[in-house]
Structure formats: structure tokens, C-alpha cells
Structure 1
């Protein structure tokens, strides 16, 4: 087996199946990443969604027998919608982050990795693989950085010279000893725009993220959103793009290469009020194919309520009162009560006063009181 020729063939083939960048690196341990992960754990900066075993996140030998190298792939996704829909008074809209536009990227990248595996097997029948996307054990960006896909920016995203940071990442551990590509030198320099622009200060410093403060993480939680973040969320339903949109490396970067990544504007930027009453079945049918649906409808509905409060949408008061009175989930009832206080008006205040008498859940009662406190502040 001529590994050098095989690598050339794989690179050529990858272009025919819609892989925008491909890089190769060793299967040695990611020692620097291990130190960073240990520090993140010590500082309690982890989100809880990660693989809990740090050794598995940095040592490919724990994931596959006799790994010799890792192939890293990147696919570019759009940063702008071809068809725009406007959020206007009475018809306010929320927004899913760009990484949740189009078909779930896990599905798309797994398809490319499977095709790559089959191609390599046709050349080397004894080849072995372990492929993963995002939810796998390895840290995608650590692999991509070492494989020369891009550099790890201060916003903790891989930044490629060609596509900026608007790329999905996946990797494949293999027993074939490919020659490694050279990493790209970090080009962030003195730029600190992403750190300065982070709405919640989650980017503690360049390259260090406190996940518990990150809006992208907070939008995926299922409980009450902490008070300090409720007004920071804006109209975000899932994820946050701020640290990407302010990045100079992303200026003018907008690639529409993959049809399955094209957003349907009514899904990527949906009307908020209909989300309050959507059934599980309707939610699955409309949003089930996007990555932002993985936690179910509850976080999306809670965020939609917060977005209506952000817009102070008086046309949503009736809907929010219905939700506060009838929804079986305390988080949704309570968030609706808080939002009614934020929006204000006599109808909202009367509904909160009635709910204060009828509500039995202590957490919801606390939220009703917060809502009523908004009225007291206005009067004083």
C-alpha cells in the first residue's frame, strides 16, 4: 500500500462528495488540550454536554485499537439567507443560529464520513475506522487544528482561511499511517472583537469559554433561565452567533455549497406566537430535521416567551395569559408570567394578580411575583 498515493486519492475523492476541506494528523494524544480540559473542569466552565471522561477526549488509543492517524473534514455552511423574512410589529420572529440551518449537520457529516470510509475500504479492505461528529469523544477543533483545517480562534471556533469559522467539523480515526499536514498559524493577533462582543461575558479571555454563561448553551437548558441572562437572550431560540458575526475573518464569507444546508426562513427565523401552542407532533414534523430540535420543544418555547418579552410584544399578551393559566409545565407557566410583567399593560397585570391567587407551584408563584414587581417599579 502506497500511503502517499492513497492520501492523494482520498483528497481528490473527498472533493467529489462535497467535503470542502480535508486534513490529516497523527493519532497521538492531545496533551495541550488535556491540560485545558482539566482547567475547564477545575473552573467549572464545562457545559455538561461533553464526554465526561477527559482521557477519552484526548487519547485516540482509548477509542480504537492501534490508531495510526486521524482524518479531519470540514463542510462550509451559509451565513446569510437567500430569502429574507422580516420581524415586524405583531409578527415578531425568533432566530435559530446558523449551525441549525438546513438539515442537521450530524446527518450531513456522517453521510460524508461514511462515503469516505467506503472509498478507503475499496482501496484498503483491511482498513479500520472510528468516525465521529460533535457528539463523539474527541474534541473536533483540537483534531481540526492539528490537521491544518484552520486555527482555533479566540472565540473557540476553528477559523479557516477559505470559509472563516462557518464550517462543520468531523473526524475519522484510522489504522492507516497517513503523513500529517502542517497546522495553520494562529492569525487572531491583537484582535479581541469576539471577547468584547460576547453578550454575557462567557468568553472569559481569548480561547477560554465559560459554557455556563454562553448563550448558545443557555438556550439549550430546560429549566428556568437565570434572571441575569433573560434580557441578554434577545430573540435567540437556539444558539448564538455573535462571536462569529463580529469576527473580521468572517467578513464577506457566505457559502451556499450544500443544498441540504440551505435554510427555510420560516423554520430558521420562525414566528414566535405560534411556537407557544405547537404540539409535540407539529414540532417534530416542522423542526425535527434541524440540529436545534435535539432538546425538544420546551427550551425553544421558553426562549420564544423570552423573545416576546424582549420585543415587549403587546399582541402576545393574550397568548401568554393562556400559557400561564393552562400549560402543565411550571417552567413555561412561570416564564410566561415573567414575560407578562415585562411587557406590561392592564390586561397583563390583572392576569398576574389572578394567577397569584390560583397558582400552587412555588417556583411559578415566584415568577408571578417577579412579573408583578415590574409594575411596582413602573409606579414608583
Structure 2
């Protein structure tokens, strides 16, 4: 039995699928995709670094011989749809932060490599420049769907991916030849914003998952598409036939967050509620901004919500002040308009003042 096969067996006992590729592998598909995004000015700020380097493991990790890729299915808390005044959280962000969970599982495997003679082994779970999805594809863990997700046989696309980069040479696993995407086009048709502009091509700037995680002001024309979403979007995976019939692994209980409750979150309470989840990584302001938008999209205009929005007009964050102004303009309450008129004369931030002005005119 080779080392890769032995490691695969250890990974399987942890509920992981595992493959390996030489560190000299060039992720050609990822390189083409990222260069296309750069040409179209679609690049996102989430991961920095040179495109050329991000697709060449040996350039990022001098002395590396092997990149080990693993996939683990999400353990998803069972929950029904959100009710009025509640926010929708995408499946991968419910429960304990998948970064932490997968890192805990990968560290013992990395230590095992050292027992076999590795002098170093680095664990990466969605926090480094090397592209996990491309490594997993090259290692034969799955194949790409039209929706740009990696489909892992018997797991579907609802998986977390991680890497171990090491100077130990392991036997390589081969890319999958079968199965392939069914090319049904359901994901392209279902994408709310048309972010899937073509098969295997994503415009991240229109993707609701990206929009709910980016910092700053959301484009006003895309805000209605968020619906009740607080974080992430599952549409292109929900409609994918590769995910049909796969039993979801049940995780701990989950309660849809109340939107008005989120608006009044202060200080340590945010970390207390969300600190162990992946919701926390972008911070409180992003989540509260999304809650403001979701309030409008659900038509939830109770007195409590309007009062919280008025208070946000005084918030230190220009992003929250601006989105609160937009929301009050949309909800149209008389007391909200009076608050906007007061804020317009006192606001010093040009972007926020622009939002207030449009809200008073009924625009946006």
C-alpha cells in the first residue's frame, strides 16, 4: 500500500475524501478563469496575490512536493424557511465555522505526514491564496458543474474543501474522466442576478453569495435580489440535479436570526452569538447592512424596525447610515421621512448624503 492510499484510508475514517497532486502542477483551468475575470474587471478583493502564483503551488511554497486536497460534506442544521422579519443564512454558514472544523481534522493528517518523513506540512482551508477547488479538481475529487461548483461523487457540491501542502512526495491521484456535468442549465436559469453568465463562467460581482459578504455599499439595483438573504446564496446548488437524492448530514439546531434583533446588536453580543460560525468573518457591519436590505425586501415595516433604522442614521458606519436611509425611503413611514430630513442637513459623508437625497425623492 502506498502512502497516498494509506492517507486516504485515514481520511475516510474522519469522513473525508482525499487526493493528491504534485506541487509542480499548474492549475490551467483556474488560471484561464482568473485571467478572464481580470480582463473583464471582475476580480474580487477576497484573495490577493498574483494570479500566476496562485495557480502554481510550488511558487507559493518553495520546496513543496505534494498538494493534498480533501473534501468534507457540510453538516447542515435542519431548519425550515425563514418567517417574516427573519433572515436567511446559506447552508454552509450554519453551525460551527467550517474552517475550524476542517482544520481540526486536517492537523492530525499533517502530523501523520511528519511521521512518514515530511519536514513540514501546511494546512489551508479557504484562507490562503492557493485555490482549493482547482487542487481538488486536479486530484480527482470531483468535476465542475455549469455553476462553477465542484461536484464530488456521492457528496454533491455541498462540501468544504481544504489542503495540506508538504515537502513529502506522495503518489498522485488522477483527475476524474467520468461523471461530468449533465449540462441541464438549471443553475443558469435559476440564478437571480444572472451571475452565471455562461456555462462554467461566474461574474462574481453579481453573485449574491459574494454580495452578501463584500464590504461597503451594495449596488442599489442589486439590493432587491438579496431577498431575505443575510449571508450566502444556495440557489444554483439547490436546483442542481447532482445534489438531488443526497441525504443532508444533520448538524446542530439553527434559528433564523431576527432582522430587527440584528440591527440592535452591540459590541460583544455579536461575537457571543456568531463568533463560532463563519458568519463572523466579515464582521458585524456587513451582517447588519444585509439585515437592513432584507427588512425592505420582506416588507417588514413594523414600528420596531422603523425605530431601529432611524437609530442607524446616527451610526458611526457610513455604510449602515446609507443603507438605513435607503430602507427608510423604501418603507415610506412618515416618521422615517422626518428622520431623513433631519439627517440630510447633518450628514457629512457624500455617499450617505446621496443615499438620503435619493430616499427623500423616492428614488433607488
**TM-score normalized by the length of structure 2:** 0.92
Q: 2:121 aligns with which of 102, 125, 129?
A: 129
In structure 2, the partner of 1:294 is: 281
Count of residues in Structure 1 that have an aligned counterpart in Structure 2: 360
Matches within 5 A, 1:76-87: 76-79=73-76, 81-84=77-80, 86-87=82-83
Which residue in 1 is equivalent to 2:335? 347
Q: How far apart in 2 are the matches of 1:362 and 1:6?
A: 60
The residue aligned with 1:169 is 161
Q: 1:322 aligns to what?
A: 311
Which structure 2 residues correspond to residues 40-119 of structure 1 after superposition, within 5 A? Answer: 40-79=37-76, 81-84=77-80, 86-88=82-84, 92-119=85-112
The offset of 1:73, in angstroms, is 0.5
Mean Cα displacement is larger for which, 211-220 or 183-192?
183-192
Contact 1:132 1:170 in 2 (8 A): yes
Q: 2:216 aligns with which of 216, 220, 223?
A: 223
2:263 and 2:207 map into 1 onto residues whose CA distance is: 24
Q: Deviation string for 1:106-150 (max 9, x for gaps)?
A: 11111111110112323x134532321112222111111111111
Aligned mate of 2:15, from 16, 19, 27: 19
TM-superposed deviation, 1:84: 4.1
SS in 1 for 2:19: strand
Does 1:338 pair with 2:326?
Answer: yes
Measure the CA separation in 2 of the matches of 1:207 and 1:143: 17
Q: Is the 8 A contact 1:60 1:138 kept in 2?
A: yes
**Structure 1 pair 352–66 and aligned structure 2 pair: CA distance change class (3 A):** closer
Q: 1:373 is matched with which residue?
A: 361
Matched, 1:34 2:31: yes
Aligned CA distance change for structure 1 residues 190 and 29 (closer, same or farther; 3 Å): closer
Q: Quick one: distance in 1 between partners of 2:83 and 2:165?
A: 45
Note the aligned Cα RMSD (angstroms): 2.1
Task: Answer yes or no: is 1:304 the counterpart of 2:291.
Answer: yes
Would you say the 8 A contact 1:76–1:163 is kept in 2? yes
The reply to whether residue 187 of structure 1 matches residue 184 of structure 2 is no
Q: 1:183 to 1:356 in 2, by over 3 A?
A: same
Which whole-Å CA distance do the structure 1 matches of 2:242 and 2:64 have between them? 34
Quick one: distance in 1 between partners of 2:67 and 2:273? 36
Give the structure 2 partner of residue 140 of structure 1.
132
Q: For each residue in 1:233-270, what CA deviation from the matched residue of structure 2 results, as whole angstroms up to 9, or x when unmatched?
A: 1111111111111111112334327xxxx35423xx20
8 A Cα contact 1:132 1:172, kept in partner: yes
> Is 1:278 equivalent to 2:265 in the alignment?
yes
Q: CA deviation at 1:33?
A: 2.5
Normalized against structure 1, the TM-score is what?
A: 0.88
> Is the partner of 2:249 in helix, strand or coil?
coil
Distance, in Å, in 1 between the alignment partners of 2:279 and 2:212 is 10
Q: Could you say what secondary structure the match of 2:2 adopts?
A: helix
In structure 2, list runs of 5 or more residues that go unmatched: none
Asked if the contact 1:78/1:166 (under 8 Å) is kept, the reply is no
Shift of the 129–317 alpha-carbon distance from structure 1 to 2, 3 Å rule, reads: same
